[in-house]
């Protein structure tokens, strides 16, 4: 591979990230001087910046891996795919947030998390991983407290304290790896050769410490305890964003690091067993805990933990087909989670919804958002005619193929647990549709009025989810051309 000669030549490969940095500076200046229509202007400027960044990524789509900044980052089609996904998630979140939440700091923090996630997707060196992950994490801790009440502050503090422990685990694990290998570049030949030759038990300790920090971002069991409190107390647009972009950024990093520690199949530990075990626990604990919830946001928090398990299920195969299935699932997960939280946000703006019973009869006074919420929940369950069905089908297919090729029992167990839990999920996902359309509307309930932009966003997300079920070939064909290697 060609090594760019200088930092200047590397800058051309990170123009989308430079656009985000410039946009953050512009947002800060505009926030100081604008008095009227501040939210709309800030969201418009940031939205244009993110869409421009997406265009740059797509226009300069990398055809071969290119190490930049002395190999600390690398542009390749795998990273480019997720950069587009993160920028899209940020843009859609800002579209949801055309309300009082769109303060200057709010918009800056959204951009900072997207910037960190994009850098994380390109990181091939533990130094850039640490910096990028902390940019995502610190901004997320602040956003989690943006409701500015006692409950939100408590959730933000819990998120911060647990995140600090996760960061400490990451730093200590990285320091152990550096002591063993003498390098922080986990894609280098030196890293692989040293770990293959070394028989030290410290390697496994370091690997588990590093992966624990990454699993915290993905909200996988047993590093999920912060999620329900944060999801329940934070503003709904913030929860929509935190449930997709930081989680998928963690997923990208997890894939890279697991492949690095797998040592091209020469590792002493079978990482497929470890990942499958985490996936099984996440699916089981997430779904079984969701059964007992009455608060809709808390239920979706446990649902998100279970969804993390399904995302990891594709990675558990440690082959290209499984990773491709996970990438398709990641796109669908972003769409259906944003749709669920967007519609929930519209309902919450109209009236408080502390329990699912408060949705009684609202489907009759707000047909469009209610129908969209039903479609989002059906997609999260994994039923047709939504892309959630296609995504789970691809993950299960890759699991079945991997089990047939390897004979590894844990993959078959994961396959069976995933199928059974799809049935379990039906019970708690369909509680809200039951109240929306099958319960009587309380007397005196006024119709809910949703803005044109709100209805437009909901309709776009619904069309995307159904279209990906009817025609998954376009997206899957694009994903199948992505060949990721360390």
pLDDT digits (tens, 9 = 90+) for 200-221: 788 899 999 999 999 999 999 8
Angle at 211 between CA 486 and CA 292, to 5 degrees: 130
Beta bridge pairs of residue 125: 185
Say if CB 336 and CB 440 are below 8 A apart. no
Per residue in 442-463, pLDDT tens?
666 666 677 777 778 889 999 9
User: Alpha-carbon distance 82 to 88, whole Å?
Assistant: 10
Q: Which of 449, 329, 437 is nearest to 393 (CA)?
A: 329
- State how far the alpha carbon of 269 is from the alpha carbons of 170, 199, 208, 274, 434, in Å: 20, 12, 12, 9, 46
Per residue in 345-377, pLDDT tens?
888 877 777 778 888 878 888 888 889 999 999
Entry pTM: 0.93
User: Alpha-carbon distance 250 to 10, whole Å?
Assistant: 24
DSSP letters, 297-315, are HHHHHHHHHHHHHHHHHHH
User: Alpha-carbon distance 346 to 334, whole Å?
Assistant: 18
- Alpha-carbon Rg for the chain in angstroms: 22
User: Alpha-carbon distance 81 to 482, whole Å?
Assistant: 9
Q: Which of 175, 187, 183, 62 is nearest to 123 (CA)?
A: 187
Say if CB 78 and CB 484 are below 8 A apart. yes
Cβ-count burial 461-483 (b if 16+ within 10 Å, e if not):
bbebbbebbeebeebbeebeebe
- Residue 292 has a pLDDT of 87
Those residues of the chain that have pLDDT short of 50 are: 1-2, 4-5, 101
Percent helix, strand and coil across the chain, each to the nearest 5? 75, 0, 20
Q: What are phi and psi of 300, to 5 degrees?
A: -70, -25
Q: Which of 273, 249, 277 is nearest to 262 (CA)?
A: 273
Domain boundaries, the chain: 270-486
């Amino acid at each position: 591979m060609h090594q760019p000669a200088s930092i200047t030549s590397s800058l051309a490969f990170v123009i989308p990230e430079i656009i985000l940095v410039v946009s953050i500076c512009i947002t800060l200046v505009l926030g100081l001087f604008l008095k009227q229509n501040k939210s709309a202007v800030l969201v418009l400027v940031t939205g244009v910046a993110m869409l421009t960044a997406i265009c740059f990524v797509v226009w300069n789509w990398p055809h071969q891996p290119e190490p930049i900044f002395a190999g600390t980052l690398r542009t390749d089609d795998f990273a480019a795919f997720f950069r587009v996904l993160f920028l899209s998630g940020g843009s859609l979140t800002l579209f949801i947030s055309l309300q009082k939440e769109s303060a200057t700091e709010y918009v800056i923090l959204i951009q900072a998390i997207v910037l960190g996630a994009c850098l994380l997707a390109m990181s091939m060196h533990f130094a850039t991983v640490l910096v990028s992950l902390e940019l995502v994490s610190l901004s997320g801790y602040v956003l989690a407290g943006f409701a500015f009440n006692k409950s939100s502050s408590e959730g933000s503090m819990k998120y911060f304290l647990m995140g600090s422990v996760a960061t400490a685990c990451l730093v200590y694990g990285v320091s152990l790896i550096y002591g063993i290998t003498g390098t922080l570049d986990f894609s280098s030949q030196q890293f692989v050769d040293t770990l293959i030759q070394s028989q030290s038990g410290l390697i496994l300790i370091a690997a588990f410490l590093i992966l624990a920090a990454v699993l915290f971002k993905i909200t996988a069991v047993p590093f999920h305890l912060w999620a329900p409190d944060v999801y329940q107390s934070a503003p709904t647009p913030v929860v929509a964003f935190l449930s997709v972009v930081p989680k998928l950024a963690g997923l990208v990093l997890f894939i890279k690091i697991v492949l690095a520690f797998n040592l091209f199949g020469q590792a002493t530990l079978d990482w497929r067993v470890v990942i499958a075990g985490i996936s099984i626990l996440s699916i089981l604990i997430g779904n079984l805990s969701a059964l007992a919830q009455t608060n809709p946001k808390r239920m979706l928090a446990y649902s998100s933990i279970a969804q993390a398990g399904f995302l990891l299920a594709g990675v558990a195969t440690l082959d290209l087909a499984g990773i491709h299935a996970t990438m398709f699932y990641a796109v669908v997960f972003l769409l259906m989670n944003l749709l669920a939280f967007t519609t929930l946000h519209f309902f919450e703006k109209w009236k408080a919804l502390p329990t699912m019973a408060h949705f009684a009869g609202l489907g009759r006074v707000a047909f469009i958002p209610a129908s969209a919420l039903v479609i989002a929940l059906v997609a999260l369950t994994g039923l047709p005619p939504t892309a959630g069905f296609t995504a789970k089908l691809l993950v299960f297919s890759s699991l079945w193929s991997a089990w047939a090729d390897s004979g590894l029992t844990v993959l078959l167990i994961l396959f069976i647990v995933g199928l059974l839990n799809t049935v379990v999920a039906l019970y708690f996902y369909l509680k809200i549709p039951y109240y929306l359309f099958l319960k009587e509307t309380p007397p005196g309930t006024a119709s809910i009025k949703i803005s044109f932009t709100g209805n437009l966003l909901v309709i776009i997300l619904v069309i995307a989810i159904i279209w990906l079920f009817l025609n998954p070939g376009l997206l899957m064909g694009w994903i199948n051309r992505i060949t990721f290697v360390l």
